Amino acid sequence: MAGASILSLWDQTAEEADLGVPMSGDLTVDVAIVGGGYTGLSTALHAAEKGLSACVLEARQIGFGGSGRNVGLLNAGLWLPPQDVRARLGEARGAQLVELLGDAPSYVMSLIERHQIRCELTRSGTIHAAHSPAGIKDLARRAEEWQRLGAPVRLLSQQEASAKIGSEAFFGGLLDARAGTLNPMGYVRGLARAAAAAGARIHTDAAVTKLVRHGESWQVETGAGTVTAKSVVLATNAYSDDLWPGLTSSFVPIDYFQVATRPLGDRVAHILAERQGIWDTGKIMFSLRRDAADRLIIGSMGAAIGGEGGLSERWARRQLARLFPSLGTVEFETAWHGQIAMNSEHMPRIHRLADGLYTPIGYNGRGIAPGTVFGKAMADLLSGGDEADLPMPVTDAEPAWAGRLQAGFYKAVFAANQLFKSI
């Protein structure tokens, strides 16, 4: 698979420039942010717009983690249906989160427009596709509640889903007009550009090695200098390391891989003709979308295995043949995978790790819109807001039961799934 060494297809095709300069010397700021993804850069942008001095410290490059490896589905809400969110958080708090995340794609689109971020945004919605009769029942339950709340969602019959997706493999779908697709690396780089223009400092190749509390401030140590800050936001999500003890044990890391074809031109004009992205209701979820250059990008849970002609490419070839029998032979351009931070409740969390030290974490595969609005919420808090106004109640980080054992189990299951479905 040519180009398999790149970070992702989005790294190669994003129109926005890769931004960031190495750190040199010590700094003093209001807010130090560890991690250059959606949450970190949204925090920096909104903090700078509120008059706070902010510095982003990214260990590698902007979007190196899940943000630059994302599928690029700009979805509304969470994995859980709205009624289940309210049941877990309580009616009032749950309703606030449902409303916030239901409107989150619109807010992301407004940022893209305001800052002229070049990220191949589409506004035609996304489709949650039913892989089975049980799947369509689940989607009907979701649709009923979203419609009760006034959201522009529509349950698609099998025939309607087939017409929009270009495949007869599904039992129906849920079309959400609030949603869309984008080039995820283009969006995160655009956030970095906007944050820098607002006055935030963006430093790449700046791995944080130590966090130390001194009086009323934090010392954030890197190999190139120290940042002194009133507050720190750890925005590393699934790419968290041992910087803060116990944080990596608070979630289960799950791999998600994608395989991209070469541009297919008119051959795929009938596939996702309106360019909605899709994901399905299966327990081992898969996703499919078509990019601006008419590549098909197909993915599922697990790591990318093998290079050219390897297992992941064989899996992708088999799935595309199943979904679109008339498509014929395709060539693949690249494959990659990233990590998702999962937890047992399938909801994001905001942890206060110490005074002035916070981490939003656990987006469970919904990083783009929640990461953006959670970053804004962190900026609101650190500019004088109240913890009670955050999207989620503030909690302590607690170990996920058998988290690393679960991660190993899932890795084996997902690899077996690729093997089984490539035959």
DSSP-derived secondary structure for 323-358: H-TTS----EEEEEEEEEEE-TT-S-EEEEEETTEE
The pLDDT value recorded for residue 2 is: 36
- Measured in degrees and rounded to the nearest 5, phi and psi for residue 196 equal -65, -40
pLDDT for 153-179, tens place per residue? 999 999 999 999 999 999 999 999 999
Specify whether the CB–CB gap between 11 and 61 falls below 8 A: no
pLDDT for 8-36, tens place per residue? 999 999 999 998 889 989 999 999 999 99
Give the domain ranges of the chain.
Answer: 9-125+178-421, 126-177
Does the pTM surpass 0.85? The reply is: yes
The CATH code for residues 9-125+178-421 is 3.50.50.60
Positions of the chain with pLDDT lower than 50, given as ranges: 1-5
- Measured in degrees and rounded to the nearest 5, phi and psi for residue 394 equal -75, 130
Q: How far apart are CA 105 and CA 117, in angstroms?
A: 15
The pLDDT value recorded for residue 401 is: 64
- Measured in degrees and rounded to the nearest 5, phi and psi for residue 2 equal -60, 140
Q: How far apart are CA 378 and CA 393, in angstroms?
A: 13
The pLDDT value recorded for residue 4 is: 36
